[in-house]
């Protein structure tokens, strides 16, 4: 008989790395593992792992609904406010998420203001409150490797937005 504790631990280890979340794809997510291997998980399993990492107490369906709304809100925000996007990630930590955006532009006070507004918008929107804590970070002409170091050191999971181009 298998040991469920070991199974959970093994699943966590396997999920260290970048999850490429394809917007609009409800079936699978692609997990980029630390050894450059790639695994494909179904969305239900991904949501389960996220729910565990985020220490969410609500039901699976409720959390999934909130998370999808949050991701949809962020994807819409990226499309509307971020035309020069180089990369966008959500770093997932217990009960917290950090939204990291790398843009192909010089430092912009206006863009910083948009991020600040987004923080308030997410945290004050009861429908999308999938996490207890949400913060943002912008990099301007950021180096992807250095950004990976910045966001991925201890995070159990990082979602990478890979928006479908219209």
Partner 1 sequence: MAGKLELAEEHGRALCFLIEAGGTEHPRWIQTVACYVAIPLVDRAIEQCGVNCPGDHRDRNGALQRTNKLKGIHDSYAPMYRASKAARYYPTSSGSSEDAIRQLVRGRLIPLLKSAKKHSGEEEKRIDALMSSIIAACKSALES
**Residues binding partner 1 (CB under 8 A):** 96, 107, 109, 112-113, 115-116, 119-120, 122-124, 132-139, 142-143, 146-147, 149-150
The sign of the dihedral angle between the CA atoms of 101, 72, 32, 86 is negative
Reading the block at residue 32, the tokens are 């980029």
Nearer to partner 1, 124 or 165 (CB): 124
Nearer to partner 1, 47 or 115 (CB): 115
Nearer to partner 1, 28 or 148 (CB): 148
132 φ/ψ angles, rounded to the nearest 5 degrees? -80, -20
3-state secondary structure of 19: strand
- What's the min distance (Å) between Cβ of 86 and partner 1? 14
- What's the min distance (Å) between Cβ of 136 and partner 1? 7
- What's the min distance (Å) between Cβ of 102 and partner 1? 11
Q: How far apart are CA 72 and CA 67, in angstroms?
A: 8
85 φ/ψ angles, rounded to the nearest 5 degrees? -70, 130
Nearer to partner 1, 64 or 160 (CB): 160
């Amino acid at each position: 008989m298998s040991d469920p504790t070991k199974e959970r631990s093994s699943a966590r280890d396997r999920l260290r790395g970048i999850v490429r979340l394809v917007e609009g794809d409800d079936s699978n997510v692609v997990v980029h593992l630390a050894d450059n291997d790639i695994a494909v998980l179904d969305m239900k399993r991904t949501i389960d792992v996220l729910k565990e990492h985020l220490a969410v107490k609500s039901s699976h369906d409720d959390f999934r609904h909130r998370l999808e709304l949050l991701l949809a809100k962020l994807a819409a925000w990226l499309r509307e406010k971020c035309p020069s996007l180089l990369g966008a990630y959500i770093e997932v930590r217990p009960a917290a998420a950090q939204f990291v955006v790398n843009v192909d532009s010089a430092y912009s006070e206006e863009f910083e203001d948009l991020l600040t507004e987004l923080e308030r918008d997410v945290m004050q929107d009861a429908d999308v409150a999938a996490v207890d804590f949400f913060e943002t970070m912008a990099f301007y002409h950021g180096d992807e490797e250095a950004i990976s170091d910045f966001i991925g050191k201890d995070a159990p999971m990082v979602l990478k937005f890979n928006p479908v181009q219209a």
